[in-house]
Amino acid sequence: MSRCRITVFGAGAWGTALAQAFANTHEVVLWGRDRTQLDELARLRENRRYLPGVRLHDTLAVEADFRTAAEQADLHLVVTPLSGLRDTVRELRRIRPDTPLLWACKGFEAGTGRLPHEIIAEELGLDAPSGVLTGPSFAAEVGRGLPAAITLAARDPAFARHWVAVLHQPRLRIYANTDLVGCEVGGAVKNVMAIAAGVSDGMGFGLNARAALITRGLAEIARLARALGGRSETLMGLAGMGDLILTCTGDLSRNRRVGLALAEGKSLADILRELGHVAEGVSTAREVVQLAHRHGVEMPVCEAVDALLHHGLNARTAVERLLARDPREE
């Protein structure tokens, strides 16, 4: 495996976990916006705010200066929340526009409904050497070195194969794909489904109801992916079914925790404040519903979650409305 210099932009839980994983075999620099947090991280060798309990690799470097972090890299890996992707890429364009780029952001851009790869195309051009890392992966487990498998999707098959070969780890297995749309839709909409599953579980509706929501949720995700140009078979893999199952059932899922708290009757504002992390499903729900309406795609689970989050529907009514839908062919 060839050794390379990777800069990870974003010192949250997932950025720190990926930096930790790749530092096993590569020279890795971690950049973040909060200089105070970075100073603490460098001093303690632990990201106590976002990834507590994980002792960082001795060779993992921390850099607060954006230009310095960008200029020394063979690969840029953007792991900011989706809301920070466009601005980060614009800065990279000014400094090192030709450096290969990967991103690990999930969701649809607020206001535009753009998927991450569409943002990249607008900022860097369609031919930019770039791709997405996505799939079923909790940061806490990856940071601790537990096994996981994810997808690297890119328009250019050669680019995907090359970086899979470079980045593949014994405990972080990476698989190549060329369906950017399918992979990104799966990674985005599963967060909305996880909120629904959390609400259902929090209401005590049981495992059967959760299985029904996950299954019908996967069908919704596949319908939207096809409408946007993705492939159905992608949603049967890591970036679709794998990510959906993990996020809807795992207790480490932030979006699932949002749903559980909504079922307790907590307000969304209080939930997000207590969470302390970004739960992408909250903003994604609104964008998904708008996209579904524009493309004529039926997405009742997402519509119920959006109504619950943004339009005053209560949690019990939201789940009961879904479970009471008229019978039809599957």
| Residues catalogued as catalytic | 190
User: Buried b / exposed e across 46-78, counting CB within 10 Å, b at 16+?
Assistant: ebebbbeebebeeebbbbbebeebbeebebbbb
> What are the residues facing 61 on neighbouring strands?
29
SS3 sequence, the chain?
A: CCCCEEEEECCCHHHHHHHHHHCCCCEEEEECCCHHHHHHHHHHCCECCCECCCCCCCCCEEECCHHHHHHCCCEEEECCCHHHHHHHHHHHHHHCCCCCEEECCCCCCCCCCCCHHHHHHHHHCCCCCEEEEECCCCHHHHHCCCCEEEEEECCCHHHHHHHHHHHCCCCEEEEEECCHHHHHHHHHHHHHHHHHHHHHHHCCCCHHHHHHHHHHHHHHHHHHHHHCCCCHHHHHCHHHHHHHHHHHHCCCCHHHHHHHHHHCCCCHHHHHHHHCCCCHHHHHHHHHHHHHHHHCCCCHHHHHHHHHHHCCCCHHHHHHHHHCCCCCCC
